[in-house]
Amino acid sequence: MSLAIGLVGCNGTQSTSSTSTEKSEKSSKPNIIYIMSDDHAFQSISAYGSEISKVAPTPNIDRLAETGVIFDRSYVTNSLCGPSRATMLTGKFGHKNGFMQNGDLFDGSQQTLPKLLQKGGYQTAMIGKWHIKSLPTGFDYWDMLNDQGEYFNPDFISATDTVKIEGYVTDIITDKSLAWLEKAKDGDKPFALWMHHKAPHRNWMPDLKYAAMYDSVTFPVPDNYFDDYKGRKAAGLQKMNIYKDMYEGHDLKMSVAVGSDSLRYDRWPHIFARLTPEQRAEWDKIYRGKNDAMNAANLEGKDMALWKYQRYMQDYHAVLKSVDVSIGRVIDYLEENNLRDNTIVIYTSDQGFFVGEHGWFDKRFMYEESSRTPLLISYPGHIPAKQLNHDLVQNIDYAPTLLDYAGLEIPEDIQGMSMKPLFEQGDEKAEWRDAIYYHYYEFPGFHSVRRQYGVRTDRYKLIKFYFRINEWELYDLEKDPKEMHNLYNDPEYVEVQKMMKTKLDELMVKYEEPPVKEWVNKKIVRKKH
Ligand code: SGN
Ligand code: CA
């Protein structure tokens, strides 16, 4: 793999001579490494202890849990890439930062976390998937993928150039990140790095060296894989079913017949066309045998649906293997350079993901697998090790938390809260929210998931689906964690329903969400692939 690390213009700060104030700033402020993957299901992180992760562990991501805090109630405000990223950058809901659905244009002139850190004395960089259309602002250095990015031989766009780099995307993003850290660590200022992986986003193309690693593993099938969506109208209307909606060529890499490497339906052939002839030959060698076996078996109905689940899981987790290795490389680098104790490392995903629950892939719904996202924070010596946190945190909280640790003022208009007191509570429980607000706006759109908003408390969830649908859903998560039984209008839950509606109203007022009818006619800008 050739490395075209664009360190020219990396940041001018390193050559400037340091004043004593800057030197002391550097020693008092923590470095920050914010690592975000794309579509990483918490069910696929072994530190969360799920059945899936027992057969596909993530030993390096787990190192962050061993040395810090892992959240099992961490949510996004809107389970979609662009909106989640905009919220993470601003500490605000989409209706405040202006980015509500993929295809919107992020207004980079607004206040953001990188800008505030930069102003507060940090050197900043962003490397990897960006996906909010406008060029990055607030970074001394940035090097981003084009739109969704490509797994093989991806294009990278910097302030000065677009370069196609041969190799595998997760490795390249890691190489570029470590190269930036190597420069930044010797600078006068503390560093803040946003390392944004493309993986494990659809279409789950593993690195060749891992593409066969789960071939003999059988992944546990969720017991609601063949869900009939009874009592949940919106759930029945989506188009994100593994056995009905995945493209057999593009997503599942199925060949047309025994002895052939030609793919079945491949909606976007330019993705496979990125591979060099040598890479493609190796790829075909790996997939030929398993595809031949599938074609020879003439599978139908449920058998085919279950085969597809296994293929999806094998590829998704082989892609994640590279992510886990990447996290390991970053942690090793910090340890080797004596940076571990003064660096906050955050690992999260832009949202959760379905890995077969309800028969689905993708996200968007307010259901748990999708709206909940992994979150691990390690800051040895400052955040106690091996903590499992159950507080209802959201991606609006990342910005204020990091500003707090950086000793900088948290602007009044940020809607999230600093999580710092949660780690320092001692005997006294820090004051925290008892409910979170969620709003997904992208319909009509990919996967036909209806517009929805709702509230989740410790125990209950209320969701309103609107726009060409008018449905409520209510769940008792203690009794029904898989959200299979809609209790809306159930006489036994009349009081709960009333309480949840009140909470929802309160949160909409608190976060200054305009009446929903104002969004109904908002134009959906369809994005090119
Ligand atoms: C692509 C995917 C969709 C996915 C969206 C949004 N199709 O369009 O399945 O929902 O991205 O994902 S793909 O075959 O082109 O990958 S997001 O994470 O960027 O919001
Ligand atoms: Ca995503």
- 270-305: pLDDT as tens digits: 999 999 999 999 999 999 999 999 999 999 999 999
Report pLDDT for 10. 29
- Residue 18 CA to residue 24 CA, distance in Å, equals 10
170 CA distance to ligand 1 centroid (A)? 18
191 φ, ψ (degrees, to nearest 5): -110, 155
Pair type for strands 155-158 and 162-164: antiparallel
Q: Summarize the confidence of residues 425-436 as an average pLDDT.
A: 83
Q: Which two tokens stand for residue 39?
A: 């579509």
Q: Starting from the CA of residue 267, give the closest ligand.
A: 1
Report pLDDT for 16. 37
Q: Summarize the confidence of residues 113-120 as an average pLDDT.
A: 98
421: Cβ contacts below 8 Å, ≥ 6 apart: 430, 431
3-class DSSP assignment, residue 465: strand
- pLDDT tier, 20 (very low <50, low <70, confident <90, very high otherwise): low
Share of the chain above pLDDT 90, in %: 90
Could you please report the per-residue DSSP string of 87-110? HHHHSS-HHHHS--STT----TTS
Question: Would you tell me which CATH number, out of the four given (3.40.50.360, 3.30.1120.10, 3.30.110.70, 3.40.605.10), belongs to the domain 436-520?
Answer: 3.30.1120.10
Which residue's structure tokens are 């690195």?
Answer: 207
- Ligand 1 atom closest to residue 529's alpha carbon, by position in its atom list: 15
CA nearest 129: which of 113, 112, 146? 146
- Ligand 1 atom closest to residue 102's alpha carbon, by position in its atom list: 20
N-to-C CA span, the chain? 26
Report pLDDT for 429. 76
pLDDT at residue 13 tops 50 = no
401 CA distance to ligand 1 centroid (A)? 29
Which residue has a Cα nearest atom 20 of ligand 1?
Answer: 81
Instruction: Note the pLDDT tens digit of each residue in 165-221.
Output: 999 999 999 999 999 999 999 999 999 999 999 999 999 999 999 999 999 999 999
- pLDDT tier, 23 (very low <50, low <70, confident <90, very high otherwise): low
What Rg, from alpha-carbon coordinates, does the chain have? 23
- Ligand 1 atom closest to residue 39's alpha carbon, by position in its atom list: 18
Return the amino acid letter for 37: S
Q: Is 373 in the pocket of ligand 1 (CB under 6 A)?
A: no
Map out the domains of the chain as residue ranges: 34-203+316-425, 233-312, 436-520
Report pLDDT for 28. 85
Please check whether residue 199 is in contact with residue 170, taking contact to mean a CB–CB distance below 8 angstroms: yes
Report pLDDT for 21. 57
3-class DSSP assignment, residue 296: helix
Which residue has a Cα nearest atom 18 of ligand 1?
Answer: 81
Report pLDDT for 7. 25
Report pLDDT for 528. 42
Please check whether residue 190 is in contact with residue 29, taking contact to mean a CB–CB distance below 8 angstroms: yes
Tell me the Ramachandran region of residue 390: left when phi exceeds 0, alpha when psi lies from -120 to 50, beta otherwise.
alpha
Q: Summarize the confidence of residues 126-149 as an average pLDDT.
A: 97
Report pLDDT for 197. 98
Share of the chain above pLDDT 70, in %: 92
CA nearest 379: which of 345, 339, 414? 345
pLDDT at residue 386 tops 60 = yes
pLDDT at residue 430 tops 90 = no
447 CA distance to ligand 1 centroid (A)? 9
Instruction: Note the pLDDT tens digit of each residue in 436-445.
Output: 999 999 999 9
pLDDT at residue 2 tops 50 = no
pLDDT at residue 3 tops 50 = no
Q: Is 102 in the pocket of ligand 1 (CB under 6 A)?
A: yes
Report pLDDT for 516. 80
| pLDDT-wise least confident of 7-21, 118-132, 361-375, 427-441 | 7-21
CA nearest 65: which of 350, 371, 348? 348
Please check whether residue 98 is in contact with residue 106, taking contact to mean a CB–CB distance below 8 angstroms: yes
Mean pLDDT, the chain, whole residue set: 93
- Residue 426 CA to residue 445 CA, distance in Å, equals 46
Q: Under CATH, what is the fold of the domain 34-203+316-425? A: Alkaline Phosphatase, subunit A (3.40.720)
**Which residues, listed in sequence order, are joined to residue 279 by a DSSP beta bridge?**
none
Report pLDDT for 424. 80
Dihedral sign computed on CA atoms, order 120, 126, 130, 133: positive
Pair type for strands 375-378 and 343-349: antiparallel
Report pLDDT for 428. 73
Report pLDDT for 425. 64
- Residue 275 CA to residue 108 CA, distance in Å, equals 34
